[in-house]
Amino acid sequence: GWTALILAGRRPEHDPVAAHFGVDTKALVPIGGRPMIGHVIDAVARCPDITRIVALAQQADRLAAIVDDDRVTWVESGAGISAGISAIA
């Protein structure tokens, strides 16, 4: 199967969408009463060819606690996207 990589990082500068909804990262913007990232995870998980889901984010532990989905391996992005991807490869 395939590994899906979900990039759930946040902008280093002000994110107007997140700010509008009173959250600090767009992944937590509420849609239908739950964080946006939960909808992304559900959509990816419905693909039968995907056998592993990895989410890359700053404060990965915090997002994992909020989303609470055991289908996802959360990885701290660290210094940036490329460094985070290298860490999981």
DSSP state, 84?
H
Average pLDDT (58-67) is: 90
What is the per-residue pLDDT across 12-51, written as a single tens digit (0 to 9) for each? 788 999 999 999 899 999 999 999 999 999 999 999 999 9
Query: Is 0.95 topped by the overall pTM?
Result: no
Q: Per-residue DSSP letters for 12-81? A: SS--HHHHHTT-SSGGG-EETTEEHHHHHHHHHHT-TTEEEEEEEETTHHHHHHHH--TTEEEEE-TT-H
The answer to whether residue 84 scores a pLDDT higher than 90 is no
pLDDT at 89: 67
